[in-house]
């Protein structure tokens, strides 16, 4: 029995030794390859993390450049058309910065055309009709460029809608018959996209109101002279404004009296006038003399 048990133990030891040797051989054959694959996966993950951080930094810089190139005045975007286009070109493919910069550039052009002057303050220069049309054309072309880049991407539906609205503004600013027909088509498209997207009810309302007002916008606005302007639009002196609880400066003053208020000194306390009256009395003849008691005459 002991001999049999000893043989079993020896056989088990040989089996374990054979398994260990097979595992060692397997590691020798495949170990380096597996280790290489693991190292490649780790390096790829680290590289992806670094690339993501780098892209985030680029996007942050792009938004910072875009924001520093524009400003706002009375709710309207201000800036340089060419500078905004440079930002769009320099940050191509970085989030929505190119589209946003081009939308602002087109808005700057369209606002310049509507004002009819380039520049601000005393340095502003009036534009000719040809220059105004040139600004309108540049605004329309920039809006259409944004629309082409965004209309097929469902993630950029808001940008596409803004581009359509900009094209409509440019077309209505030009005011031709073909322009009005295309503007009507674009407004219907804006309503269609807004209804299918959802959450854009304000665009639907504004587009329908603009559609209803298109017939009146076709009629040219007549130029009037200053004599034809209403009273509120002429250069008249300001009218007095009545404020409740405040009297006009001449009200409450008795005619013939001095309107200048007399300011008494707080030290006097209003007693000087009383003492003076007590010191002298009139005798009815108009002479201001002190009364005599008759004893001094004797």
pTM for this predicted structure: 0.63
Other residues' Cβ atoms within 10 Å of the Cβ of residue 158: 15
pLDDT at position 250: 54
| pLDDT string in tens for the chain (298-residue length) | 555 555 545 555 555 566 677 778 887 888 888 889 999 999 999 999 999 999 999 999 999 999 999 988 888 888 899 999 999 999 998 889 999 999 999 999 999 998 888 877 677 788 888 999 999 999 999 999 999 999 999 999 999 999 999 999 999 998 888 999 999 999 999 999 999 998 899 999 999 999 999 988 877 666 666 666 666 555 556 566 665 555 555 555 555 555 555 555 555 444 444 444 444 444 444 444 444 444 444 3
DSSP symbol at 222: P
Report domain extents, the chain: 70-218
Q: Which two tokens stand for residue 81?
A: 């058309």
How long is the chain? 298
In angstroms, how far is CA 189 from the centroid of its own chain? Answer: 26
Report helix, strand or coil for 126: strand
Query: Measured between alpha carbons, how far is 248 from 251 in angstroms, rounded to an integer?
Result: 5
Q: Is 237 left (phi over 0), alpha (psi -120 to 50) or beta?
A: beta
Query: Measured between alpha carbons, how far is 40 from 42 in angstroms, rounded to an integer?
Result: 5
The CATH fold assigned to 70-218 is: 1.25.40
Specify the DSSP element, H or E, that contains 276.
Answer: helix 272-279
Specify the DSSP element, H or E, that contains 77.
Answer: strand 76-79
């Amino acid at each position: 029995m002991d001999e049999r048990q000893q043989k079993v133990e020896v056989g088990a030891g040989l089996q374990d030794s054979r398994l260990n040797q097979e595992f060692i051989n397997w590691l020798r054959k495949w170990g380096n390859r597996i280790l290489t694959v693991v190292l490649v996966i780790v390096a790829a993950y680290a590289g992806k993390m670094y690339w993501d951080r780098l892209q985030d930094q680029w996007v942050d810089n792009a938004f910072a450049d875009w924001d520093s190139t524009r400003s706002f005045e009375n709710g309207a975007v201000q800036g340089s058309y060419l500078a905004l286009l440079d930002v769009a070109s320099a940050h191509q493919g970085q989030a929505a910065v190119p589209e946003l910069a081009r939308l602002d550039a087109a808005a700057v052009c369209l606002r310049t055309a509507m004002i009819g002057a380039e520049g601000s303050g005393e340095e502003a220069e009036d534009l000719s009709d040809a220059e105004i049309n040139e600004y309108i054309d540049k605004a329309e072309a920039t809006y259409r460029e944004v629309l082409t880049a965004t209309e097929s991407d469902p993630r950029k539906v808001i940008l596409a809608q803004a581009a359509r609205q900009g094209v409509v503004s440019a077309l209505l600013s030009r005011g031709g018959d073909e322009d009005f027909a295309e503007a009507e088509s674009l407004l219907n498209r804006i309503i269609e996209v807004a209804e299918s997207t959802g959450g854009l009810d304000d665009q639907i309302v504004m587009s329908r109101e603009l559609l209803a007002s298109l017939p009146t916008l076709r009629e040219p606005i007549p130029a009037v002279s200053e004599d034809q302007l209403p009273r509120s639009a002429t250069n008249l002196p300001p009218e007095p404004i009545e404020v409740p609880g405040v009297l006009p400066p001449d009200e409450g003053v008795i005619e013939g009296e001095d309107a200048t208020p007399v300011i008494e000194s707080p030290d006097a306390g209003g007693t000087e006038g009383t003492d003076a009256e007590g010191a002298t009395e009139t005798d009815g003849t108009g002479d201001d003399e002190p009364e005599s008691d008759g004893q001094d005459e004797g």
